[in-house]
Structure 1
Amino acid sequence: MLSYQHAYHAGNAADVHKHALLSVALDYMARKDKALSYLETHAGRGLYDLSDAQARRTGEAAAGVGRWLARMPADHPWRRMVEAVRADHGPDAYLGSPLLAARLTRPFDRLDLAELHPAEHAALLAAMPAHPNIRIHKRDGVEMARALTPPEPRRGLMLIDPSWEVRSDYERMAKLLPALHRKWGVGVLMLWYPILRDRRHGPMLRALRETLPDALVSEVRFTPARDGHGMEGSGMVVVNPPWGLPEAAMALAARFEED
């Protein structure tokens, strides 16, 4: 949806969950001396200023990174990357998943990032380091995912993170993941979804459990960031989870339960 801008929600509790798992997966995958591909279907702007009007309007970052950064272990890759980007850009900076991926991968890895929103696309171009192995596409992310699957190199990870503003997204994602897995059997596929009060993700999750029974499902719950906010949790479906990710997901969920 061209109306969606993540700046209002950057650094919220769902971002903590999503980015913590993404960083663990990429940190492990980048330890091997083999090139990998990273693809992202809905990239956003890459770098956010949590002091700007959009972020302050919702207050979600205060309940997310503002609450969780110091609670993460000092050696957790998500905490390390947030602290590194703040050292470069100031104490209110927050890195979105494209910049997180760029900082956790190597120069010989390949990144393909899709962002269709004109303003977000322009901001993403400005935020990302210039490198021939980083390609930023102004195109529909699902179309890009289908077109570039399987990528080269085949070893790699794809993050799928739609806006979920249209209810049909749930049915669409339930079909997309199995289709991508059939084309790219070795690829790590990570699908993020919101957990809302009406539990509209339920049919999608049941369908994915049937078609991809070995996929990891990680869910965390949290108090809504403000009155009237319908998101009560965050979920991730991971096909071909890298070594250590299931244990990291369990540990993260336990921290959320203790909160």
Structure 2
Amino acid sequence: MLSYQHLYHAGNLADVHKHSTLAWVLDYMTRKDKPLSYIETHGGRGLYDLTADEAVKTGEAEAGIGSVGDWFDEGHPYAAALNACRDEFGDNAYPGSPWIASHLLRGDDVLHVAELHPQEHAALKQAVAGAHIHGQDGFEMAYSLCPPTPRRGLMLVDPSYEVKAEYMDIPRHFAKLAKIWPVGVLMLWYPILTDMRHRGMLRALQTTFPEALTHEVRFAPARDGHRMVGSGMFIVNPPWGLDEALKDLGDAFEQL
């Protein structure tokens, strides 16, 4: 959606869940001396200032990375990305998923990121040097690229979910993309809202991909009236060891 801007939500608890998972997977995949492709369908601006009015207004970053940053020791790839981002842009900077991917990937890896919002697209081009930034629908980009070169790789799907139809469309997209790119790691982030509208989408995905990994965490709303009470990740072809890593992360969320 062209109205959505992630700056209001950057660094919240859902971002902690999503980005720490993404960083772990990228770190694991880059241990193998073979190039990979990274594809992201909804990139946002890639880099955020948590002192911006939009971020301060919602208080989500303060309740998120501002409160739980000590969960991750210096050896965790998410902490490494956070520290590198702050070293370069200041203590109030927060990296979006395209920036995290750009930091963790290597010179022979290939990054493709889509973003339709004109302002977000322009900011993304500045934030993530060396990436292929596409000003088109994310799924259109994904279909045009898959199977990508290099064939080994990862796709992150992280839509705004401002339109309820997205919940119905995603299982269809995942089924088609997995058929085109059967070796790709397909990662989906989804919000858990008070009305639990994600359940139909998740049932459809789990029926199509019975061996995929589902991981959910719950947390209190960031403010009165806020409807998001949790975060979910659905991962097709999950790397070995990810389930154990996410159990540890889930234990940390349970202590909130």
Same fold (TM over 0.5): yes
Q: Does 1:225 align with 2:222?
A: yes
Match of 1:14 in 2: 14
Give percent identity, aligned residues only.
Answer: 58
Cα offset for 1:166? 0.4
**Residues of 2 paired with 1:127 and 1:73: CA distance?**
25
1:53-106 superposed Cα distances (whole Å, 9 cap, x missing partner): 110110100111101111223311111110111011111000000000000000
**Residues of 2 paired with 1:187 and 1:245: CA distance?**
15
Gaps of 5+ in 1: none
TM-score (norm: length of structure 2): 0.99
Q: Does 1:109 align with 2:106?
A: no
Match of 2:128 in 1: 128
Q: Does 1:75 align with 2:38?
A: no
Q: How does 1:172-191 map to 2 (within 5 A)?
A: 172-191=169-188
1:111-148 superposed Cα distances (whole Å, 9 cap, x missing partner): 0000000000000011112x3xx210000001111111
* Partner SS, residue 7 of structure 1: helix
**Residues of 2 paired with 1:247 and 1:183: CA distance?**
29
Q: Does 1:201 align with 2:201?
A: no
How many pairs were matched up?
A: 256
**Residues of 1 paired with 2:84 and 2:191: CA distance?**
28
Cα offset for 1:16? 0.1
In the alignment, residue 41 of structure 1 is paired with which amino acid? T
In the alignment, residue 57 of structure 1 is paired with which amino acid? K
* Partner SS, residue 113 of structure 1: strand
**Residues of 2 paired with 1:97 and 1:124: CA distance?**
11
* Partner SS, residue 214 of structure 2: strand
**Residues of 1 paired with 2:135 and 2:68: CA distance?**
33
1:207-234 superposed Cα distances (whole Å, 9 cap, x missing partner): 1110000000010001110000000000
Match of 1:60 in 2: 60
